[in-house]
């Protein structure tokens, strides 16, 4: 996942805030959103991130993948991440 | 015979060294600690002299007059109405113009009163009417040191969030002031009153910034009977980011600085909501906050 250049990210206890420096809007991620976000930053693609979290939280990977795809879609919609040409965030 | 030139004065407030040459009750000469902060000069002018506001922030207030702050915060020029006493129009100088100058110099103004307890700053946030001023002054009456009323200038320095002292001026409802312990409030200088609010100058303001040790968000509630301290209902990030005193300076560098400072503050100081029933006054609220401060971490 590649953060957009106009974005700043900071951790708060238990949450993450993403600041869009162009619009001045702040976006908050709760604990689960933070876990998704950090897994996506650590891994080269969505599949790897899903695999990591499914193992860590012992959850169904198909459901998790849907949730993470929706999460990525939300970040793209808000202009916070950039999507590679092959569609992988 | 020409009037004598007004004496130039210096003061320290909001992390700024102020230089002025007009009557400024309670402000002129305030502070005087180590003069290493950035400087802001203050001057009077006629309204017409402020017509050119290119690159500056211009304020046209129907009651307080016309004022201009330079884009870098180094110059503040004021054209107050001639019939307003100095202490009264300077509520706008202290309450709006100097916090903007402080922001333009790199500090972050938070909508909070502040007191110093045991060498650390305690910030009191809350909407207008929540009791920030009266609780702060109640804490001062109980032995805390007065830092700031309504706006606190914060700075992230070497990993610590510091609160700079304000000018030692506060506005408090007359009936609240009347209930303050006489032995404490007798030392406060009353500058004037307007629409039921008294402007006071409070001594003993620290000469330097203090590290922030706690943030309390005061909320007055009609649906509770006893005072309660809990996590802030809005969440910590929204409480701190949304509590900025200035929402209109939106340059990316400033927004990043606000985010950095808020994140660090959340890491280093507990942020708690103090829910106060309508039946409890500022003195009891102050006692409760002091008690929470004394609890082991």
pLDDT digits (tens, 9 = 90+) for A20-62: 999 999 999 999 999 999 999 999 899 999 999 999 998 999 9
Mean pLDDT, all residues of chain A: 90
The two tokens of residue B1 are 């015979």
The whole-number average pLDDT for the span B131-145 is 96
Query: Residue B2 has what pLDDT?
Result: 52
B27-55: average pLDDT? 83
Whether the CB of A13 is below 8 Å from some CB of chain B: the reply is yes
Domain residue limits, chain A: 2-79
Tally A–B CB contacts below 8 A.
Answer: 42
Mutate to test the interface with A, among B215, B246, B257, B259 (most CBs of A within 10 A): B259
Give the separation between CA B100 and CA B53, rounded to whole angstroms.
Answer: 15
pLDDT attached to residue B297: 56
Contact residues, chain A, for B241 at CB < 8 Å: 17, 26
Convert the pLDDT of each residue in B185-227 to its tens digit. Answer: 999 999 999 999 999 999 999 999 999 999 999 999 999 999 9
Q: State whether B266 and A12 contact (CB < 8 Å).
A: yes
pLDDT of residue B190: 97
Q: Is the pLDDT of residue B272 over 50?
A: yes
Residue in A11, A13, A28 closest to B238 by CB: A28
Per-residue CA distances from B126 to B123, B130, B244, B247 (Å): 10, 6, 11, 16
pLDDT per position as a tens digit, B143-184: 999 999 999 999 999 999 999 999 999 999 999 999 999 999
Q: Inter-chain contact A17–B241, Cβ cutoff 8 Å?
A: yes
> How much is the pLDDT for B5?
56
Closest CA to B113 of B76, B155, B145: B145
| Interface contact B53, partner A, CB < 8 A | no
Q: What's the mean pLDDT in B104-126? A: 97
Burial string for B131-150 (b: 16+ CB within 10 Å, else e) reads bbbbbbbbbbbbebbbbbbb
B231 near A CB under 8 A: no
- Report the range of poorest mean pLDDT among B2-16, B17-31, B55-69, B256-270: B2-16
Res. B7: pLDDT tops 90:
no
Domain over A2-79 is classified CATH 3.40.190.290: no
Percent of chain A, pLDDT > 70? Answer: 92
Q: What is the pLDDT of residue A87?
A: 45
Q: What is the pLDDT of residue A89?
A: 45
Q: What percent of chain B has pLDDT over 70?
A: 95
Contact (CB<8Å) B237/A26: yes
pLDDT value of position A66:
95
Residues 6 or more apart in contact with residue B138 via CB below 8 angstroms = B180, B282, B283, B285, B286
Cross-strand partners of A12: A15
Mean pLDDT, rounded, of chain B: 93
Rounded to an integer, the average pLDDT of B246-269 is 96
**Is B220 buried (19+), middle (13-18) or exposed (0-12) by CB count in 10 A?**
middle
Residues B34-47: tens digit of each pLDDT = 456 679 999 999 99
Whether residues B237 and A17 touch (CB distance < 8 A) is answered with: yes
Taking the CA of residue A66 and the nearest CA in chain B, the distance in Å comes to 27
Residues within 8 A of B (CB atoms), A 19-78 only: 19, 21-22, 24, 26, 28
pLDDT of residue B35: 57
For residue A24, which residues of chain B lie inside 8 Å, CB to CB? 250, 255
Q: Which class for B219: exposed (0-12), middle (13-18), buried (19 or more C-beta within 10 A)?
A: middle
Reduce the DSSP state of residue B162 to 3 states and report it. strand
Task: Map tokens 């979290």 to a residue.
Answer: A53
Tally of helices (H runs) and strands (E runs) in chain A: 3, 5
Q: How far is A29 from chain B (nearest CA, A)?
A: 10
| Structure confidence at residue B4 (pLDDT) | 58
Q: Is A24 close to B250, i.e. CB distance below 8 A?
A: yes
ipTM of the complex: 0.88
Q: Which residues of A touch B234 (CB under 8 A)?
A: none
């Amino acid at each position: 996942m590649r953060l957009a250049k106009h974005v700043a990210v900071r951790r708060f206890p238990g949450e993450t805030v993403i600041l869009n420096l162009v619009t001045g809007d702040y976006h908050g991620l709760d604990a689960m959103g933070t876990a998704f976000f950090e897994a996506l930053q650590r891994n080269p693609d969505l599949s790897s991130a899903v695999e990591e979290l499914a193992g860590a939280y012992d959850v169904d990977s198909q459901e998790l993948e849907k949730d993470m795809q929706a999460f990525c879609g939300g970040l793209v919609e808000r202009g916070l991440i950039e999507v590679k040409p092959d569609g992988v965030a | 015979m020409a009037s004598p030139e007004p004496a130039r004065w210096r003061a320290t407030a909001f992390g700024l060294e102020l230089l002025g040459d007009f009557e400024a009750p309670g402000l002129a000469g305030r502070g005087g600690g180590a003069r290493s902060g950035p400087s802001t000069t203050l001057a009077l002018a006629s309204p017409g002299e402020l017509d050119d506001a290119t690159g500056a922030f211009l304020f046209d207030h129907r009651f307080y007059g016309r004022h201009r702050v330079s884009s870098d915060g180094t110059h503040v020029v004021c054209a107050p109405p001639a019939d307003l006493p100095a202490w009264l129009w300077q509520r706008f100088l202290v309450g709006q113009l100097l916090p903007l100058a402080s922001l333009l110099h790199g500090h972050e103004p938070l909508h909070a009163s502040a007191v110093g307890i045991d060498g650390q700053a305690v910030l009191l946030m809350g909407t207008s009417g929540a009791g920030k001023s009266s609780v702060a002054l109640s804490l001062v009456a109980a032995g805390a040191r007065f830092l700031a009323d309504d706006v606190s200038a914060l700075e992230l320095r070497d990993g610590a969030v510091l609160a700079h002292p304000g000018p030692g001026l506060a506005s408090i409802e007359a009936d609240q002031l009347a209930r303050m312990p006489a032995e404490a409030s007798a030392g406060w200088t009353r500058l004037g009153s307007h629409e039921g609010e008294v402007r006071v100058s409070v001594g003993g303001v620290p000469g330097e910034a203090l590290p922030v040790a706690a943030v309390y968000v005061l909320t007055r509630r009609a649906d509770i009977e006893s005072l309660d301290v809990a996590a802030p209902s809005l969440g910590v990030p929204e409480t701190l980011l949304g509590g900025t005193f200035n929402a209109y300076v939106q340059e990316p560098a400033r927004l990043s600085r606000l985010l950095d400072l808020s994140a660090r503050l959340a890491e280093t100081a507990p942020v708690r909501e103090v829910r106060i029933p309508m039946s409890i006054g500022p003195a009891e609220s102050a006692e409760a906050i002091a008690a929470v401060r004394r609890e082991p971490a």
